[in-house]
Structure 1
Amino acid sequence: MDQDIALLLAVAQGDERAFTALYNRYHQRLAIHIYRITKSTELAEEVVHDVFLKIWLNRETLTGIGNFPVYLYVISKNAALNCLKRTAREKALTTDLDPALDQLPLAETSEEDYRYILIDEAIDRLPPQQRQAYLLARHERLTYTEVAMRMGLSKETVKKYLQIATEFISGYITKKLIISILFFIQNNL
């Protein structure tokens, strides 16, 4: 337990080696715990990475945690349940076909314009910090270092924000295009 306290204090001060040690210490146990909830290796890994990203991004709060293993299991359980809810919603979306698709301007909009509309929708759905980092890096063409300085973040945090934002945007566009295709097929058969 004393080792956890020392690691948490070091992580709270931004020590990446301490964070890696903390990750290595709990990753496997946490993955097993999450797998029991999700019954999916892929979801378990995704949740573990999300939990540790959240810990890193909120590292300043680590000094107030008395029992890290309990804290870790509680936030990971919540993250796993949220992940399962999100997965269920995504499945429902692709099987039930979103009624809002009736309003999609597919006939009047070029394929390229439609892609830009989807990109804008996806960007609007990003959390504020990720959206700001994405817009600064992609639209204003700032480097990671410049974005980090402007936002008061570390370069690694900016890099992670951009990775997550890009994955989210790609996934969002893919899902919307699949739904559009399914909708088109359904209405033209």
Structure 2
Amino acid sequence: MALNHFVNELEILAQIAEGDQRAFTLLFKHYQRFVFSFGKKITHSEESAGEIVQDIFLKIWLARESLPEVKNFGAYLNRLVRNHSLNVVRKQLQDTKSAVEFSKIFSEVDESTILQLDYNETNNLLNQAIAELSPQQRMVYQLCHQQGLKYDEAAVQMNISSQTVNSYMKDALKKIRNHFRKHAVAYPLLILGLFDKHHF
């Protein structure tokens, strides 16, 4: 779908950079449909597209102080959504042992455009979330996500099935995402209530 810009977009971005949640809400309402549609087009999944919307705007808010440096927010958002959506697809394909097929797509992505989060803030939130996982979920996350083991390799090490590993990983990632959204510093909780994929 077409990407329509704010007339006073630079002013809105400057206000968001100063922590203005009202301005951020305006930005969210203006671009959420585009992010959802673009994410769905790439992932072919409404559920994934809904998660992409919240992930993208969470990243934008956490890195809001850098927004005044963005000269073309439309192009910036376009690349950000594309890269994030392709990362989602890559993870899905890796889970189904199709990483080779995805590499043809991902090789064309310019990862330098991905928005950078504040490292300390993000790392602290991640460590908190991991600590709250169940022992099994934490072990699966550490083996597969941090150490890079494949699901079948982690299954052998934990003496469980690869299907169980997959289930633990999905639950772990869901809990981590929810923790991040709940505790992200100064992230407007209103945004979580604004988004409803059924409105698209």
User: Per the shorter chain, which TM-score range?
Assistant: 0.5 to 0.7
1:3 aligns with 2:3: no
2:74 is aligned to 69
CA distance in 1, matches of 2:152, 2:85: 25
2:41 is aligned to 36
1:128-161: per-residue Cα shift (whole Å, max 9, x none)? Answer: xx6xxx9xxxxxxxxx7xxx9xxxx43x47x8xx
1:104 aligns with 2:109: no
CA distance in 2, matches of 1:57, 1:26: 17
> How far 1:105 sits from its partner (Å)?
5.9
The one of the two structures with greater contact order (alpha-carbon pairs below 8 A, sep at least 6) is: 2
1:98-122: per-residue Cα shift (whole Å, max 9, x none)? Answer: 123222267xxxxxxxxxxx89xx6
Summarize the alignment of residues 170-181 of structure 1 with structure 2, pairs less than 5 Å apart: none
**2:56 counterpart letter in structure 1:** V
CA contact (8 A) 2:16 2:64 kept: yes
**1:10 counterpart letter in structure 2:** Q
1:51 aligns with 2:105: no
> How far 1:16 sits from its partner (Å)?
0.8
* Structure 1 alignment gaps of length 5 or more: 107-117, 135-143, 164-189
1:51-98: per-residue Cα shift (whole Å, max 9, x none)? Answer: 1110001000100011111100000000000011112223349xx851
Q: Classify 1:91/1:8 alpha carbon distance in 2 versus 1 (closer, same or farther; 3 Å).
A: same
Residue identity over aligned pairs, in percent, reads 32
Would you identify which runs of 4 or more consecutive aligned residues in structure 1 move more than 4 Å?
none
Please, what TM-score do these two structures have when normalized by structure 1?
0.54
Q: Classify 1:23/1:104 alpha carbon distance in 2 versus 1 (closer, same or farther; 3 Å).
A: same
> How far 1:2 sits from its partner (Å)?
4.4
CA distance in 1, matches of 2:153, 2:159: 14
* Structure 2 alignment gaps of length 5 or more: 1-5, 99-149, 161-167, 193-200
Q: Classify 1:99/1:105 alpha carbon distance in 2 versus 1 (closer, same or farther; 3 Å).
A: closer
CA distance in 1, matches of 2:151, 2:34: 38
What is the Cα-based RMSD across aligned positions, in Å? 3.6
SS of residue in 1 equivalent to 2:19: coil
Decide which structure has greater helix share: 1
Please, what TM-score do these two structures have when normalized by structure 2?
0.51
Summarize the alignment of residues 153-172 of structure 1 with structure 2, pairs less than 5 Å apart: 153-154=185-186, 156=187
Q: Classify 1:97/1:50 alpha carbon distance in 2 versus 1 (closer, same or farther; 3 Å).
A: closer
**1:34 counterpart letter in structure 2:** G
1:14 is aligned to 19
